[in-house]
Amino acid sequence: MQVLQVQLEVGPDPAEVGRARRWARKRLAGSGIGDDEPLAETLVLLISELVTNAVVHTGCPAVLRMLFAAEGGVRVEVADSSDRPPRPRHAAGEDTNGRGLELVDGLADRWGWQPEGAGKSIWCEVDRTPAASAPGEGVGSPGRVHC
């Protein structure tokens, strides 16, 4: 299996989320995933959620990585310097926060987290073909990242 990996360093500013989305759109187009494809919109939304969690809850820089498999699947990873694992958090009613990883769980074919260096990496995968696995497989518990 061949994999192409690209990465972007993201500063600890919520404004960096927009830059990460623009960067991701260009990389997706360069990999043959058109901006008009539902897959592109799904991946950009996933990236937005993961990068937002990293910069808002750690206040530290993060690294966004996209890995493109030859079979067409895409893995998104966001590494940050916090070693705290994601904790379940469920938004109630009209709350505007607390839905990030619930959204990731609903959109990704798989997701999870793992220790990385002194911090952690939260990842998700989206297949270009129909998923054979149940959403939410992976290490860790669903929930929004709290640092």
- Digit-by-digit pLDDT tens for the chain (147 residues) are 668 899 999 999 999 999 999 999 999 999 999 888 999 999 999 999 999 999 988 888 999 999 999 888 999 999 999 988 876 566 666 655 656 888 899 999 999 999 999 999 999 999 986 544 344 444 443 333 333
SS3 labels along the chain? CCEEEEEEEECCCCCHHHHHHHHHHHHHHHCCCCCCCHHHHHHHHHHHHHHHHHHHHHCCCEEEEEEEECCCCEEEEEEECCCCCCCCCCCCCCCCCCCHHHHHHHHCCEEEEEEECCEEEEEEEECCCCCCCCCCCCCCCCCCCCC
pTM for this structure? Answer: 0.81
Orientation angle between helical segments 100-107 and 38-58, nearest 10 degrees: 150
Query: What CA–CA distance (Å, rounded) separates 54 from 59?
Result: 8
The answer to whether residues 138 and 113 touch, using CB atoms and an 8 Å cutoff, is yes
**Residue with token string 């609903």:** 106
> Can you give the pLDDT at residue 137?
41
Q: What are phi and psi of 93, to 5 degrees?
A: 45, -115
> Can you give the pLDDT at residue 133?
39
